[in-house]
Structure 1
Amino acid sequence: MSSSRQASRPLDVVIRNAVLATASDTTPCEIGIRDGIVAVLGTHLPRGRSEIDALGRIVTPGGVDGHCHIDQPMAPPVRLSDDFESGSRSAACGGTTTIIPFAAQRKGGSLREAVDDYHRRAAGRSCVDYGFHLIVSDPTPTVLRDELPEQIAQGLSSFKLYMTYDAVKLSDHQILKLLALARDHGATALVHAENTDCIAWMTENLASAGKIAPRYHALSRPLLVEREGTHRAIALSELVDVPILIVHVSGHEAVEQIRWARGKGLNIFAETCPQYLLLTAEDLGVDDSYTGARCVCSPPPRDRDSQEAIWHGLADGLFTIFSSDHSPFNLGGAHGKHPDGKEVPFPRIPNGVPGIETRLPLLYSEGVLGGRITLNKFVELTATNPAKLYGIHPRKGTIAVGSDADLVVWGTEPVLLGNHMLHHGADYTPYEGMGLKAWPVCTMLRGEVIWDGVTFTGRAGAGQFLRRGSSSMLGTRSAARPA
């Protein structure tokens, strides 16, 4: 259809009385949508087939959660409490319209097999658009020569490298090979930066002293473990001359390492998560009870000084993105925080907390409305920068003519957060009882309302798989539109 005929067609949806917020601007605006795309921005737009009155509320781009774990295979009896349907539904109700979880290679297994399995798990189930990161745990010559370049070319343009966890950890030599591959193929490398031998030594000492309650998880992973891993990851990045993303930064000592690297002119990206703003080590318990298992994650929540360092890093640009690191396990039953239905020593407690639905409301409420970050910084951290970093901008992560009409209308009525109001598969939230100042009253995916503030109105299978290009933050080509 010609552009003139396209422009003459009625708009499918017009959003009126909106205050549009992007990473750079905030302005009153009407939004016209046609065929799932933002067709026009302006004032006094003609009537659409459907009209939405935003009532003067803020409208932001749909969130892009670049770090979440959904239906990822686990060693029995443990399993995640969210599949693609429940996890993506929860994302939508919290204002997130794009998710990028992980297709994890098994040691001794094929990367292709891991990706094929993950496509099967996602097919027909996701309620929002989605892509995959890779987790490379066994970089064999075949993986390095054939499988990983093949997957990058097919739109899985980012992969995660672990310095810890026996099932996935890599040596520095292996990491160097993978970083060189990322450089040569325009991929984005994510690094979980903790010193595995320090953790193992601390864990052995604690266990031999009978200190096995959940609260000792934090003692087994002190700040210096993250500091050393972060410094080493930066050094490996510098040696190969390739940018990296340090994921889920939790402590002020790791923040200092990243600031040092930036001061040297190194291109180091950084990510943090809600648990490092709102939880502390005390949430893992102040005694030897098992209740702290609900907040066991790695790195663990830190102290108030680290919280302040993270807030400052969000405000001043140290952090590139803000993700959930959603890794949900049930408290009840035999497959989550009580493996086989038992209280277990802290090294056996599954690591992770749920947070895909609460990520945006927590940061909007505590950050924007709490006066710690600007509204535009909120959009940058939660939508625009993740879309740029992971090769899906400007289709995602902004409100602009030609972008997908993924939109969130924000209400600012008080909300008392409880797990009963959430839509994930987990049986708890670590933020139970917290008073919030904001929650999405409308989420749109490609022009369709999938959350109306009360009811989820989307459907499983509506989400499209996103074939991603190289990161635009690396100065390389932008993402191709997926088939």
Structure 2
Amino acid sequence: MKGYDLVIRNGTVVTASDTTICDIGIRDGRIVALGESLGAGKEEIEASGHYVLPGGVDAHCHFDQPSGPGIQMADDFETGTRSAACGGTTTVIPFAAQQKGDTLRATVEDYHRRADGNACVDYAFHLIVSDATPLVLKEELPSLIEEGYTSFKIYMTYDDLKLNDREILETLAVARQEGAMTMIHAENADCIAWLSDALEAAGQTAPRFHATSRPPVVEREATHRAISFAELVDTPVLIVHVSGQEPIEQIRWAQGRGLRIYAETCPQYLFLTADDLKLDGFEGAKCVCSPPPRDARSQEAVWEALENGVFQIFSSDHAPFRYEDAEGKKSAEGKSFKHIPNGIPGVETRLPLLFSEGVLKGRIDITKFVALTSTNPARIYGLYPRKGTLAVGSDADIVIWDPTLEWTITNDRLHHNVDYTPYSGMTLTGKPITTLLRGQVVWKENIFIGGPGGGCFLPCERPQPAMPKGVSKGF
């Protein structure tokens, strides 16, 4: 019998369902054995006293995405995926974002040019459908789903991205027909435009008014409408970056009725509030994202929904713009909040934040941590069991965690290309100390030793997700 290329010994091995102390044997980039006292490996890692987890799957992040005239995202596929690896994430699913007037096929080809040879971890693509033409819906989208682009996002807001209600229904019908998963950004565009115009007319243009222009009701209404469309078409949808109690109530109601409604939230809704947009001067622009952070009551509602199963996925929604940059956040200084590049960085801090403040403070257990950050996104987006678990046959994407290491987040400790982090100064406990991508160490002892081209593209299967809590209807 062939030996092992690598053996990880005596770690506390965690999946979404089980925790056990054992060894992991790796050969040719895959896990080939889990058990006690495995034979010798060519290399060995001692993991006593540490958690051994499947690599994180960040199913919602933006790299090198066109953002309008004069605006440039800070992270390309090299810097963004480097940052992911250093934070314990070994698979990312960014977006191939269609621009109105472009074909989906040309969009996908463009994103492959951006990613190929540059990614430091493995990656798939969601599509963004912003121009639901007959060509897109009848030809391009079905063929791309068949080729492994089995999830796509649609927007209910942003003039350059949004679909109207009829277009949403027609796009959901394609998802139903082809067995794809639809992600929905649920905010009411007309409500936001009306409020924004009124605020501007009153001279209320500072960053803090971004939150005022997008109150919870605009998210609640759009979430209910998205759920209604999914029910009408009879297809599953996933509501992304849910911010607080009001949309959560809509989602919980739908799940309780047996509808196939999935939900995702992000670190900004657990660790930031609308007060962070009120920082002195223009500093509040650093925390402008949509939906905006809410209040302490909303944070508590998000924690409760993570605990009780309303949310299936915890993603970063990494949308990186530099602050001190004429092509970043500062491009809007002196202008209305409407012009601030929308999004915050978080791909590297996603896992440590949830581990420290969720697992170690008793909000969620370690198996739910794995489910939310790795297993569920792999299942829902068609990458399981290659990704998202520690099992014989799975890729050896493995993260070793020191659960006792105390450290403070500062931007100079992170590996993205952004000049700030909104979580600066937070002291956390627990950190990835080793990250392996298909059996190769890419992060160890605070040193990144991977490189561009180490990651590969992953075509996705049609999803076979577990149902949300309370849902009995099959996928």
Provide the TM-score with structure 1 as the length reference.
0.95
394, 400, 404: which one aligns with 1:409: 400
The residue correspondences of 1:119-198 to structure 2 (distance < 5 A) are 119-198=112-191
- CA contact 1:61–1:399 (8 Å) conserved in 2: yes
In structure 2, distance between residues paired with 1:46 and 1:27: 18
In structure 1, distance between residues paired with 2:415 and 2:466: 36
Measured on the aligned residues, the alpha-carbon RMSD in Å equals 1.0
3-state secondary structure, aligned to 1:134: strand
308, 311, 315: which one aligns with 1:319: 311
- CA contact 1:14–1:50 (8 Å) conserved in 2: yes
Which residue of the partner structure matches residue 320 of structure 2? 328
In structure 1, distance between residues paired with 2:103 and 2:9: 51
Which residue of the partner structure matches residue 363 of structure 2? 372
230, 240, 243: which one aligns with 1:237: 230
> Cα deviations across residues 161-180 of structure 1 (Å, max 9, x unaligned)?
00000010000100000001
The residue correspondences of 1:431-450 to structure 2 (distance < 5 A) are 431-450=423-442
> Cα deviations across residues 289-335 of structure 1 (Å, max 9, x unaligned)?
21100000000000111101100111111001000000000001211
- CA contact 1:270–1:320 (8 Å) conserved in 2: yes
Which residue of the partner structure matches residue 358 of structure 1? 349
Percentage identity across paired residues of the two chains: 60
- CA contact 2:379–2:466 (8 Å) conserved in 1: no
Distance apart, 1:345 and its partner CA: 1.4
Distance apart, 1:76 and its partner CA: 1.9
3-state secondary structure, aligned to 2:448: coil
384, 393, 407: which one aligns with 2:384: 393
- CA contact 1:68–1:327 (8 Å) conserved in 2: yes
Equivalent residue letter for 2:319: S
List structure 1 segments (4+ residues) > 3 angstroms apart after TM superposition: none
Which residue of the partner structure matches residue 244 of structure 2? 251
3-state secondary structure, aligned to 2:9: strand
Distance apart, 1:13 and its partner CA: 0.2
Residue 209 (str. 1) matches residue 202 (str. 2): yes
Distance apart, 1:474 and its partner CA: 7.4
In structure 1, distance between residues paired with 2:368 and 2:92: 20
Structure 1 unaligned regions, length at least 5: 1-7, 476-483
Equivalent residue letter for 2:283: T
Equivalent residue letter for 2:133: T
3-state secondary structure, aligned to 1:473: coil
In structure 2, distance between residues paired with 1:459 and 1:119: 18
Q: How many residues align?
A: 466
263, 266, 274: which one aligns with 1:270: 263
Equivalent residue letter for 1:345: S
Distance apart, 1:262 and its partner CA: 1.1
Distance apart, 1:17 and its partner CA: 1.6
Which residue of the partner structure matches residue 421 of structure 1? 413
> Cα deviations across residues 230-277 of structure 1 (Å, max 9, x unaligned)?
000000000000010000000100000011111211110000000000
3-state secondary structure, aligned to 1:19: strand
Structure 2 unaligned regions, length at least 5: 468-475
Which residue of the partner structure matches residue 466 of structure 1? 458
In structure 1, distance between residues paired with 2:408 and 2:96: 35
Equivalent residue letter for 2:291: P
- CA contact 1:33–1:447 (8 Å) conserved in 2: yes
Which residue of the partner structure matches residue 480 of structure 1? none
In structure 2, distance between residues paired with 1:143 and 1:390: 21
3-state secondary structure, aligned to 1:49: strand
Distance apart, 1:55 and its partner CA: 2.4
Which residue of the partner structure matches residue 479 of structure 1? none
Distance apart, 1:453 and its partner CA: 2.8
In structure 1, distance between residues paired with 2:325 and 2:182: 36
Distance apart, 1:286 and its partner CA: 5.8
- CA contact 1:272–1:319 (8 Å) conserved in 2: yes
The residue correspondences of 1:280-295 to structure 2 (distance < 5 A) are 280-285=273-278, 289-295=281-287
In structure 2, distance between residues paired with 1:278 and 1:18: 30
Distance apart, 1:10 and its partner CA: 1.1
